[in-house]
Amino acid sequence: MAETPEPGASTPTGGIIEPRTPKGFRDALPPRALAVERCVEGAREVLHRHGFAPIRTPALEFEEVLTGKGGSESDRQMYRFADPSGRRVGLRFDLTVPLARFVSQHRGTLPFPVSLYQWGTVWRGENTQRGRSREFLQFDFDTLGADSAMADAGIVTVVHEILRRLQAPPFTIRLNSRTLLTNVVRHAGIPEAAVAQVLRVVDKLAKLGHAAVEAELAELGATPEQVKALLAAVEVQGPAGDVVRELQAHGLGSALDDSAQRLLDVSAWVEAAGVPAGACVVDLSIARGLDYYTGMVFETTLNDLPDIGSVCSGGRYDRLTAMFSRDEPVAGVGGSVGIDRLLDGVEALGLATARSTTAYALFAVFDGVPPERYLALAAAARSAGVNAQVYPGVQRLQKQMRFADRAGFGAVVLVGPDELASGVAQVRRLADGATTSAPFDGLPAVLRELQAGEA
């Protein structure tokens, strides 16, 4: 007896295959794809102003390059397999580990300190939910060869500038020091063997809440007194100076070392670089789930949608290149904009645009007007810097106007038989329905000014 195929399964030869994507993967329709391009262009613009240079690394790395770098969770979520030659390979789960391999491989040709950026797709086989897919876009930027608080502050400053350039909803950058947090964990009396695991659990506090974190800490062997002391400390947040003073008031003065002063320096220097007071706070619960972080770490949350997770995160990783070379490790600090998560947040807040065209002006086509006239007028507009499209064929004007409105054009150029005879076009702005007359030879300038006004 033949088995009934699962819903959406492939049909027999000659049948129709249901068009669908695997769980955690998705297509990007024009509005989303255009938003991605705007994010990439905006981030690139900011990074060029700060002197960052682009690189590219492959999506596929040897399995040994990726495993053991981010921790057991990253290894579990990694997509890995044997390629046609039998070599063990994996899809990158972030862009930082490939960067460390890149820097180690090309160390002799790089002028340290060096600031680099790249963007691309990464893959993690994790449970899908809002803000978490199995395939997503990251835009990374890193400074390598400089173990200094100035480099840390530079990355945080860039984070703020990029998100402002992308017109992100109101956000807060939350800073911490993994070294300082480790000292706090030890001060609570947590056994040394469990410190790394405790850091990973503490990092889940915002997502899982008190009860779940307390239960996980208890499973790791922490006593109720240790859990209480630890959570009381890691929930401290605010301006860096206030946090340090509060830790001292809690009797945690012995946990403060150079890492606390470094946080104070980073916070002060970020503000000196133009980041408004309050845009960055110290949050001792931030640990970051990847094991390669060694110093400052940060996460950025949308103020009106914190549960979607961090839209830009990163930190310092000073020993990662040691896994690829016996040379002295190259100190590194960087950040990563989660483009897909940021756009998911924008959509969830109702701030996304439905625009699906890159053109500003649509030339409507009328019966009785030679097509070459439209093509010539549109070409002149493009030469003047106007993004313009000619409607492909004669249709009722009402249909062409509906198309223009749905696609998100800014204006429709109307040249019918009467306009052709007079040499004067009508330009209808879709935002308010206002109509402007323009002679053919002055049409490009009029469209350019309208386009500039809506940029």
pLDDT of residue 5: 44
Average pLDDT rounded to a whole number, residues 45-69: 96
1 pLDDT more than 50: no
Helix, strand, coil: what percent of the chain each, to 5? Answer: 45, 20, 40
Cα separation of 149 and 145, whole Å? 13
Cα separation of 222 and 270, whole Å? 37
Domain with CATH 3.30.930.10 in the chain: 24-169, 171-302
| Region label for 315, one of left (φ > 0), alpha (ψ between -120 and 50) or beta (otherwise) | left
The CATH fold of domain 361-453 = Rossmann fold (3.40.50)
Average pLDDT rounded to a whole number, residues 44-59: 98
Least confident stretch, 44-58, 62-76, 413-427, 439-453 = 62-76
pLDDT of residue 312: 97
Contact (Cβ atoms closer than 8 angstroms) between residue 310 and residue 336: no
Question: SS3 of 59, please?
Answer: coil
Contact (Cβ atoms closer than 8 angstroms) between residue 38 and residue 166: yes
| Crossing angle (nearest 10°) for helices 30-49 and 339-348 | 120
Among 64, 61, 121, residue whose Cα is nearest residue 90 = 61
The CATH number given to 24-169 is 3.30.930.10
Cα separation of 333 and 338, whole Å? 17
More confident residue, 152 or 290: 152
pLDDT band at 3 (very low <50, low <70, confident <90, very high): very low
296 pLDDT more than 60: yes
58 pLDDT more than 90: yes
Average pLDDT rounded to a whole number, residues 144-172: 97
Q: What are the b/e assignments for 168-203, b being 16+ CB within 10 Å?
A: bbebbbbbbbbbbbbbbbebbebeeeeeebbbbbbb
Domain with CATH 3.40.50.800 in the chain: 361-453
Segment 345-386, tens digit of pLDDT = 999 999 998 999 999 999 999 999 999 999 999 999 999 999
Least confident stretch, 39-53, 279-293, 395-409 = 279-293
Question: SS3 of 114, please?
Answer: strand
pLDDT of residue 222: 85
Domain with residues 171-302, CATH architecture: 2-Layer Sandwich (3.30)
pLDDT of residue 305: 95
Average pLDDT taken over every residue of the chain: 92
Average pLDDT rounded to a whole number, residues 163-185: 93
Least confident stretch, 91-100, 122-131, 135-144, 276-285 = 122-131
List Cβ neighbours of 196 (8 Å cut-off, separation of 6 or more): 291
pLDDT of residue 11: 54
Tokens encoding 232: 């009381």
pLDDT of residue 303: 96
Q: How many residues does the chain have?
A: 455
The verdict on whether omega for the bond into residue 113 sits within 30 degrees of 0, i.e. cis, is yes
Cα separation of 415 and 366, whole Å? 7
Among 365, 345, 354, 349, residue whose Cα is nearest residue 419 = 365
Question: SS3 of 62, please?
Answer: strand
Segment 124-140, tens digit of pLDDT = 998 887 778 999 999 99
Cα separation of 141 and 121, whole Å? 15
The percentage of residues in the chain with a pLDDT greater than 70, rounded to a whole number, is: 97
Greatest CA separation for the chain: 89
Question: SS3 of 203, please?
Answer: coil
List Cβ neighbours of 80 (8 Å cut-off, separation of 6 or more): 63, 66, 67, 88, 89, 90, 91
Average pLDDT rounded to a whole number, residues 12-26: 87
